[in-house]
Amino acid sequence: MNPHIWEEGMRCPNCQSENTRVIDTFRDKTGRVRRRRECRQCGHRFSTIEQWIQQLPLVIKADGSREPFDREKILKGLRIACWKRPVSATDLERLVDDVEAYIRSLGRGEVPSRVIGDRVIEGLKRLDPVAYIRYAIVYLGLEDLSAVRREIDRLLASDALA
């Protein structure tokens, strides 16, 4: 990269001049581009971070309403299900990354919430069976102990086959 690139529209936070130059550019581990800049007007140096934005599909809820995909909403539900369980934050982030990558790979503008929920619950089943049951009680609508027991029996039977 040419370290003397002039980018119009990048204002100095000190004097508001648009006459700035890039001194240094590098990528961080998340893929964002960090640029160190200098104002030619006042000499102030500052950094900017650029990140590629990709629009995620809308989520079609059970009632037919639509809302933007919300990574934090999924993580919140997973954290509740995994409370006091031996599941790391990294594992939860990785699971949500997988879900996000999956829905992007579908290439659709809208995705039913059930598709997302099914992907989440399958991933959680692999991470921790107790957290899976906690999540399944809400997600699958297990309304009584018999329904919970049937789900536990299915889980135990699938473990026996594995």
More confident residue, 79 or 159: 79
pLDDT for 159 equals 73
- Band of residue 45 on the pLDDT scale cut at 50, 70, 90: very high
pTM of this prediction exceeds 0.95: no
pLDDT for 31 equals 64
**CA–CA distance, 128 with 122 (Å, rounded to integer):** 10
Q: C-alpha dihedral over 124, 125, 131, 134, to 10 degrees?
A: 100
Side chain identity, residue 33: V
> For the stretch 21-39, what's the b/e string if a residue is b when 16 or more beta carbons lie within 10 angstroms of its beta carbon?
bbeebeeeeeeeeebebbb
pLDDT digits (tens, 9 = 90+) for 74-95: 999 999 999 999 999 999 999 9
Which of 77-81, 131-135, 157-161 is the least confident region?
A: 157-161
Q: What is the largest CA-CA distance in the chain?
A: 73
- Band of residue 157 on the pLDDT scale cut at 50, 70, 90: confident
pLDDT for 126 equals 92
Highest mean pLDDT among 5-19, 20-34, 39-53, 126-140: 126-140
**CA–CA distance, 17 with 12 (Å, rounded to integer):** 5
> For the stretch 43-69, what's the b/e string if a residue is b when 16 or more beta carbons lie within 10 angstroms of its beta carbon?
eeeeeeeeeeeeeebebbeeeeeeeeb
pLDDT(34) > 70: yes
- Give percent of the chain with pLDDT exceeding 70: 88
**CA–CA distance, 147 with 141 (Å, rounded to integer):** 9
Average pLDDT over residues 65-74: 93
What is the 8-class DSSP label of residue 141?
Answer: T
pLDDT(2) > 60: no
Residues 99/74, Cβ–Cβ less than 8 Å: yes
pLDDT(67) > 50: yes
